[in-house]
Structure 1
Amino acid sequence: MPLYIKRKVKEVGIEDIFLDKLAQKREQEHFVSSKKLEVPLDKNGFFSLLVFGFLIFGFLAGFTFYLQAQGKEKYNSLSQQNKFTNFNLSAERGIIYDRNLLPLVKNESTFELWVKKSELPKENYNQAIIAISSIIQKPAEFIRNLIDSAIQDDFLIAGDLNHEQLVLLTAEQAEFPGFIIKKNILRQYQGPLSMGHILGYLGKISQGEVAVLQSNNYEFADYIGKEGLEKYYENILKEKKGIVKFARTAQGKIISQEVVQYPASGQSLVLSIDAKLQKKSEQALTLALAENGLKKGVVVILDPRNGEMLTSVSWPSFDNNLFANGISIEDFQRLNDDKNNPQLNRVIAGLYPSGSAIKPVMATAALEEGIVNEKTILYCPPKLCAPHQYDQGADCYPDNAYHGYTDVKRAIAESVNPFFYMIGGGYTAPKPSNEYYDPKLPKKFEGLGIMKIAQYLNLFGFGQTANIDLPGEASGRVPAPEWKEAYFKTPATQKWYLGDTYNLSIGQGYFLTTPLQLAQAIMAIANNGQLYQPKIAKEILLSNNQKQAIPPILIRENFVASSTLKIVRTGMRQTVTSPAGSAHSLNVLPIAVSAKTGTAQIYPNKKIYLNWIAVYAPSDNPEMVMVVLIEEVVGLKSTAQRVAREILDWQFYTRNLKEKTPPVLEAPAPLEVSSLTGSTTPETISTTTTATTTESAPFSTTTISH
């Protein structure tokens, strides 16, 4: 760029006069020539600088306009968020009562200290830590490390604060924002120990549940239902949180507060459970188990008039108060390591072969399909031998005793296995020259067949959940050829044999049910063909002191003829009244009852059994259907009958004496001791694959094979 020296007079400006004078003086002092040099501005550069200045000015003016006009609401909202904070107020969770309004759980208030990291003060942070440390009696370094390592914004640092700590923390809370006192409601369960599976328990929200539950106004510190009714009815029992808005200064100090929404307690539940009957059932069951050196059993009682559950005992159980304030690692490990699995609700999730307790349903199916009628008599030998399906031999299926000519009612009462083999799988006699030929047996008898058996089992609720209002219910299994083909891998095991149908006909083989499903099926027989969905919750107590009934759900009705069910009920009554009946020991009760027993072998070649009884009472106008199951009974015993007898005697006699006028008692039929002690030893049959079912009176063993 060229440099120019000012030399023309007309170019001298006023400022040059002073500059030249200074230059002359410097020249005289230092003997140096000093001339003023100037560089003129480039026109393009000057224009660019001017445009850039205008752009900066325009941007600043536009952004100022946006802040004042368009961004007013947004930034005003942000400033309000900095100034105001919403805080949730807890209320009490709903109470759970039994059918007589006896509380099964109560609420106890405790207070906890939580930290909200995003609101901790930047100034006076260390002073806040030291002050909090002295109150909750925890080292300041521990609190600091806890805050630094926390992943969540909200987390607990001290629980179950005493009164002195609560007062001191309340005083300090305004000075040290970010430290929050929260009220927590602890559940104290008061029912019998066996109520643990029914009521369930609460637990803290897990990390995986936070995202879902925060949209429903839950906080990370909240407790929610984890099991049982506490989980199933969470939306009814949970409280409605209150909201308080706090105003604070820029330094975080609270200067005012306003209640936006008042808290409201959760709604309470009234159950169909009878707490006194539940307690008695637990006592009768645990006593029988202890006296026989056993650990596991079930009692479930339904009301056949509406499907309400009156009692549900699954043993062993657990103390749900262990979970009320967070179970210890040791206690939780002990529960998990217990080989008897006390956390399993056997009533709804235990799967078992029913043994002969299924026979009333099988008899119903055969009567409905015309396989037999009330007068049909079949000869029932000590063992039923049928020609083998795939070779020249025969498969033999022994009974527990010799019964001879039998009709359907006697077959139910005395649990005659050959009768149910034939009505289930049919029978084809071998040639007269065959060693297994018996002229008393029918030459050709058409049974139900596997598909009809499966159809009726499904109609009575087997192989599907009962949809009771509890989580964790199992569906059971009704086996069929398609199931077996899919379940097994080799061609030989995938085939459906006649022995599979025979086994299913007496509740053995691959058939699995829950005690609840069996009770539901017997309920439909007792009430003349109404299959109700079992339920535990009876009513909801609303906030206005009104009750909202939870109506019974009728799944189906009139799916079986009344005349058919009358025949079956007669057979179940004879199970008790007949001296040869398998539940004749119940005939001493002061009220007419009807029953069906069952004993299923669970370990091959071991005399260890599941001992069942299904009973309803009173026989003419049933008020309750009860199923009792005793697991792993060594030998042939009537342990389940004893439990049922004690519960029924208490419910219909002892309890009546204590609580109301005793009913008019039906005179029991005389008890014949010989019928309880006599037994017949069946002939031993050697076969390749066996499964066993037995009945308790007379005591003997039946071996099933194919």
Structure 2
Amino acid sequence: MIRFRKGDGERASLFTRRSLLLAGGQLTLMSALAGRLYQLQVLDSERFSTMAEENRVNVRLLPPSRGLIFDRTGEPLAINRNNFRAMVTSDRGRGAEMVIDRLDQILNLGEAEKGRLLRELRRSRNFQPSVVRENLGWEEVARLEFNAPDLPGVFIDIGQTRDYPEGELMSHIVGYTGRVSDEDLAGRDDPVLQLATMRFGKKGVERSLEDDLRGRAGAVQVEVNAVGRVVRELDRTDGQAGDNVLLTVDLELQRFAAERLRAAQVNAEHKSGSVVVIDIVTGDILAMVSDPGFDPNVFARGITQAEWREMLDNPERPLNNKAISGVYPPGSTYKMVTALAALESKAIEPGTILPCNGYVELGDIKFHCWLKGGHGGLNVVGGLYNSCDCFFYEAARRTGVDKIAEMANRLGFGQISSLGLPGESAGNQPTRSWKQDKYNIPWQQGDTFNLGIGQGYMTATPLQLAVMTARVANGGYDVQPNLLLAKAAPREELAPPVPTQKPAAPSMRLNPQHVALVREGMNLVVNSPSGTAQQLRYDSTGKMLDPQFRFAGKTGTAQVKRISERERAMGVTEAQLPWHLRSHALFVCFGPVDNPRYACAVIVEHGMAGGATAGPIGRDVLVETMKRDPSRRTGTFRKTASL
């Protein structure tokens, strides 16, 4: 029997209270734990089950197959081909440095590529793989497979890369694709662009039709382990390939023009120029050559720093599309603009005779005509086919810069065309306000003289010269240049539309008599025994051209460096100047002369004489274009409704 001494009762009571409090606390905690377990396992079980499933199953986007590009006859210009590529994935970049260092030893990546890979791996979402290198050869694949045990997260994948069968020939028109940059993402919220394997159009049609060519992404469901590695594929939804497009360009005509341009250039060390051929009714660009070009396949496989530097340092600027971004003084090819401006503004009449004594004096400066001694008195047709500088000095003085600039704008100068290719230049159509804003100097009479013959501040692109010629040749219709003939989804038939017979463009409301006078002047340039390009009536063998291939044209020689009076007295000739200081050679033409359908513009950089250098190229290309006209199957050219 236990006996409590005095004071034990109080301690027992205290012990009992503490035991009850402790038991109550334990009961409360157990109740809370039970409640929480009930909430997690019963009330929230569906939500956590979904979260667990999401951790186990990962949805990843699949890049779509890019649309194909063809010429107007269906010849492929840009296609897709399968390629082996090395991919790497990492747990938020942990351990990535070691793997990348090993890859560098095998593939010789270089510091720039190593840095790129490390950045991509550290910011990757859902352990998306990054591309190490594409277009692997068998030897590279074998080395990676042999070293696979030492390369965790590295695997070989089969992807698609862009292939350009025509290489340099179509490089400036088709362009190329490259990695997606921050600039490319601006204004676009397509999540597929975040994929490391995705490619984006950088130049040419690849860029201008990027949204059509890209297509829609697919998706794949994969089961992953705790660290995000793929265990197996559960489901796949293929994406929608991009649209296929048919361009207006005729590949064989493009090839002919490119070969003719290179063969005719007079400098063995430097070959640089452009040819543009346009349908004057539809605006279709049939050929657009920029020489030299570049191989877009270099960019598709991944360009090296050395290759990039070589292109940038090349004085002939192979990366520039000279047809749309090269700007040159148009020289005498601009005289049609001055003639139309003078006639339309009534500064001169069709029969107005203007004198030429060999030069025009303005203060103590002499503005020379190309013909020493002068041409005597000429009307507008005579001024054109003799290319008399003095006639156009005076015509420009009477017309004024404002009217000339207005007519030039109507004919396509000083503005970006509707072609849509990136990098196009507007050239420069000078005005009074332009000079005041740029140089803070008022417009001078000498500036008007220079503008009248396409010199001074005036610059234009070969495309603009072709458009101007087309608008004169078609009777004054505002035809717009176009590169897209047709577009269709991959499963749809891709066929060209029915050829247009009537000008779809609005009339510029020029006086038909004035347009006819300018066209007659261009006709006599070639087809008159005294025309400045009368030698072009004959083909390269010296045989007179078939009457159905007769054409009209205008030569131009755009001065780069003015030969001073002192140099003239010393007998300095242009051929003695360095290549980069020689004049540009230009020629514009349209044909057939009696029923125009095609226009052509040619520029040979620093080719000196337009009639001797650019003229034969324009003749041969235009004649070849007329020979390829579809209506020749019936023996007659398509009739232009406006003429």
- TM-score interval, normalised by the smaller of the two chains: 0.7 to 0.9
Matched, 1:581 2:531: yes
Q: Shift of the alpha carbon at 1:299?
A: 0.7
What does residue 189 of structure 1 align with?
A: 164
**2:428 counterpart SS class:** coil
TM-score when scaled to structure 1?
Answer: 0.74
What does residue 376 of structure 2 align with?
A: 404
C-alpha separation in 1, matches of 2:366 and 2:597:
42
Paired residue for 1:463, among 414, 417, 438? 414
What does residue 276 of structure 1 align with?
A: 252
Matched, 1:111 2:84: yes
What does residue 431 of structure 2 align with?
A: 480
Structure-2 change in CA distance of 1:486 and 1:53 (3 Å): farther
| Contact 1:537/1:550 (8 A) holds in 2 | no
Paired residue for 2:552, among 590, 594, 619? 594
Task: Specify the code of the residue in structure 1 equivalent to 2:209.
Answer: Y
C-alpha separation in 1, matches of 2:510 and 2:402:
17
| Contact 1:120/1:177 (8 A) holds in 2 | no
C-alpha separation in 1, matches of 2:377 and 2:208:
52
Q: Shift of the alpha carbon at 1:80?
A: 2.0
What does residue 557 of structure 1 align with?
A: 507
Q: Shift of the alpha carbon at 1:47?
A: 11
| Contact 1:533/1:554 (8 A) holds in 2 | no
**1:633 counterpart SS class:** coil
Q: How does 1:92-103 map to 2 (within 5 A)?
A: 92-103=65-76
**2:561 counterpart SS class:** coil
C-alpha separation in 1, matches of 2:437 and 2:335:
27
Q: Shift of the alpha carbon at 1:203?
A: 1.2
| Contact 2:329/2:458 (8 A) holds in 1 | yes
| Contact 1:542/1:548 (8 A) holds in 2 | no
What does residue 305 of structure 2 align with?
A: 329
| Structure with the bigger percentage of strand | 1
C-alpha separation in 2, matches of 1:182 and 1:167:
13
Structure 1 residues without counterparts, runs of 5 or longer: 14-36, 387-392, 426-446, 666-706
What does residue 529 of structure 1 align with?
A: 476
Paired residue for 2:561, among 583, 603, 607? 603
- In the TM superposition, what whole-angstrom CA distance separates every residue of 1:599-655 from its partner, at most 9, and x where no partner exists? 1111233832111111001112222110011111356861001211222344445x6
What does residue 419 of structure 1 align with?
A: 391
Q: Shift of the alpha carbon at 1:169?
A: 9.7
Larger Rg: 1
**1:563 counterpart SS class:** helix
Q: How does 1:283-682 map to 2 (within 5 A)?
A: 283-290=259-266, 294-386=270-362, 393=363, 395-401=365-371, 402-425=374-397, 447-489=398-440, 494-547=441-494, 556-588=506-538, 589-590=545-546, 591-605=549-563, 607=574, 608-634=582-608, 638-652=612-626
| Contact 2:555/2:610 (8 A) holds in 1 | no
**1:259 counterpart SS class:** strand
C-alpha separation in 2, matches of 1:105 and 1:498:
51
C-alpha separation in 1, matches of 2:82 and 2:350:
64
Q: How does 1:156-195 map to 2 (within 5 A)?
A: 156-157=131-132, 159-160=134-135, 179=154, 181-191=156-166, 193-195=168-170
| Contact 1:129/1:144 (8 A) holds in 2 | no
Q: Shift of the alpha carbon at 1:302?
A: 0.7
Q: Shift of the alpha carbon at 1:209?
A: 4.7
Matched, 1:217 2:192: yes
C-alpha separation in 2, matches of 1:448 and 1:62:
95
C-alpha separation in 2, matches of 1:105 and 1:541:
15
**1:404 counterpart SS class:** coil
Q: Shift of the alpha carbon at 1:264?
A: 3.4
- In the TM superposition, what whole-angstrom CA distance separates every residue of 1:462-481 from its partner, at most 9, and x where no partner exists? 11111313111011111112
Structure-2 change in CA distance of 1:238 and 1:191 (3 Å): same
| Contact 1:540/1:550 (8 A) holds in 2 | no
C-alpha separation in 2, matches of 1:424 and 1:642:
29
Q: Shift of the alpha carbon at 1:240?
A: 3.4
Task: Specify the code of the residue in structure 1 equivalent to 2:323.
Answer: V
C-alpha separation in 2, matches of 1:137 and 1:397:
68
**1:217 counterpart SS class:** helix
C-alpha separation in 2, matches of 1:507 and 1:169:
61
Structure-2 change in CA distance of 1:129 and 1:459 (3 Å): closer
C-alpha separation in 2, matches of 1:338 and 1:293:
12
TM-score when scaled to structure 2?
Answer: 0.80
Q: Shift of the alpha carbon at 1:395?
A: 4.6
C-alpha separation in 1, matches of 2:16 and 2:319:
90
Structure-2 change in CA distance of 1:152 and 1:663 (3 Å): same
Structure-2 change in CA distance of 1:563 and 1:161 (3 Å): same
Q: Shift of the alpha carbon at 1:49?
A: 8.2
- In the TM superposition, what whole-angstrom CA distance separates every residue of 1:10-67 from its partner, at most 9, and x where no partner exists? x569xxxxxxxxxxxxxxxxxxxxxxx7894899x99998998798678656755664
Residues matched between the structures, number = 594
Q: Shift of the alpha carbon at 1:276?
A: 0.8
Moved more, 196-205 or 91-100: 91-100
Paired residue for 2:213, among 212, 229, 237? 237
Instruction: Work out the percentage of aligned pairs sharing the same amino acid.
Output: 28
Task: Specify the code of the residue in structure 1 equivalent to 2:598.
Answer: M
C-alpha separation in 1, matches of 2:232 and 2:410:
65
C-alpha separation in 1, matches of 2:438 and 2:117:
54
Q: Shift of the alpha carbon at 1:347?
A: 0.5
Structure-2 change in CA distance of 1:54 and 1:537 (3 Å): farther
Q: Shift of the alpha carbon at 1:273?
A: 0.6
Moved more, 580-589 or 177-186: 177-186
Moved more, 103-112 or 467-476: 103-112
- In the TM superposition, what whole-angstrom CA distance separates every residue of 1:655-693 from its partner, at most 9, and x where no partner exists? 699x9769689xxxxxxxxxxxxxxxxxxxxxxxxxxxx
